[in-house]
Amino acid sequence: MDIITSNMETASETAPALREMVNSVTNRLQNQNSRQSYRSALEKFLAWYSAAGHAALDAAAVREYLLYLENSGKARGTIATTLSVLRQLFKDLRRLGTINEKTYQDLLEIRFRRPRGQRLHTWLTLAEVQELLQDLPRDRIHDVRDRAILALLAGCGLRRFELCGLRLEQLQEAQGRPVIADIHGKGDRQRTVAVPAWAGKCLEGWLAASTELRPGAFIFFSIRRNGTPGSARITPQGVRDIVARRSRDILGKQVLPHDLRRTYAQLAYKAGADLRQVQLSLGHSSIRTTEIYLGLDQDFANAPGDLLEISLVTHPLQHGARVHLIA
């Protein structure tokens, strides 16, 4: 039966079949983080779809869901990713004969792209980073851990999944200073980043407080309400929740882990760090990616050529010649 074009089945009837498709889509992905992201996006859509009570799953339902996300304040990048995931779901449904070609083509016509040149990113000022770390409470073991997490995200530019995977033996020294070595980033690329002194102090506080750490153990783990260690390392979602909650409580605005990574890049570059060094620290394969990441655009008000102080002796034009500059 065509669960979409028949217009006969209710959302409650189609949802179980769609959940089977979710497993089909996500299980084929090789990258674990991609699997989690895709599954999360699809599950959220299915929850909305079931609650909305649509008689058919079609392009109109997808458009309504995207509008719902936009009205809920979701970032445009998140909405664009959701549309990409739903296209893959519809592609699988078409391949299995569950939907017809027209339904699939209708979905492909949906466009939801981030406007070119629009900056939707957030980063903190140096004063805000200091406020976030300084004003974080110091009463519980959770506070000590969370301060170290915030410090490493803002001070080392780590991605949240990189932070979750940190082990004790990665804390090393290079060129006479503490570093985090063998960080496994995107594309399984490895890098080493220096730990600034202020972030190192926050990390040392956590290492001193977490007596359960042993060689080979993950540095950051879950903590129960009573302050005892949990049974698993902290998850990327757990890191997101920590950063969002702490920033709301202290700064009065929500900041996410990638905003702190972006903060690291912005503050380092504006303080005079070499663009190439910023690229290496972030683990970008291309320096162009770093330029886009930093929002570096051509600045015609301060053009590089203006820095060249060259004095020329000018001569009057001969025979009434005119030079017209292009307006």
Residues belonging to the active site: 159, 186, 258, 261, 284, 293
**Residue 188 one-letter amino acid:** D
Question: What's the Cα-to-Cα distance from 248 to each of 239, 245, 251, 253, 285, rounded to whole Å?
Answer: 14, 5, 6, 5, 33
Tokens coding 145: 């851990």
Is 230 within 8 Å of 215 (Cβ atoms)? no
CA distance 15 to 21: 10
Is 104 within 8 Å of 91 (Cβ atoms)? yes
Q: How many CB atoms lie within 10 A of CB 37?
A: 16
- Closest to 148 measured CA to CA, from 223, 253, 230, 215: 223
The enclosing H or E element of 42 equals helix 32-52
Residues with Cβ within 8 Å of 93's Cβ and at least 6 positions away in sequence, in order, are 3, 4, 21, 99, 104
Is 223 within 8 Å of 229 (Cβ atoms)? yes
Question: What's the Cα-to-Cα distance from 302 to each of 217, 251, 274, rounded to whole Å?
Answer: 50, 33, 19
Is 255 within 8 Å of 242 (Cβ atoms)? no
Which residue carries 């702190």 as its tokens? 260
Cα Rg of the chain, angstroms:
26
| Cα distance from N-terminal residue to C-terminal residue, the chain | 64
Which residue carries 């950063």 as its tokens? 243
Question: What's the Cα-to-Cα distance from 201 to each of 144, 190, 211, rounded to whole Å?
Answer: 11, 25, 17
